Amino acid sequence: MIESKSVIIDAPTKRGCLVLGNLLKRDREALNWSQDEVVLQIFATVRVRGEDGQLCPYRVTRATISDLERGRNLEPKTTLLEAIAAVGYVMHPSGRAFTGQELRAITQERLDPLTGTRIESFDNLSHSSKLSVEWAEAATSAA
122 Cβ contact partners less than 8 Å away, ≥ 6 residues apart: 15, 16, 19, 109, 112, 129, 130, 133
Q: Cα separations (Å) of 60 from 3, 5, 55?
A: 41, 37, 16
Whole-angstrom distance, CA of residue 9 vs CA of residue 17? 16
Tell me: pLDDT of 125 over 70: no
- List, for residues 30-40, the tens digit of each pLDDT value: 999 999 999 99
pTM over 0.85? The answer is no
Q: Domain residues of the chain, as ranges?
A: 14-142
Which has the closest alpha carbon to 23: 123, 133, 142, 100? Answer: 133
Least confident of 57-61, 84-88, 95-99, 119-123: 119-123
Residue 136 phi, psi dihedral angles, 5° rounding:
-60, -45
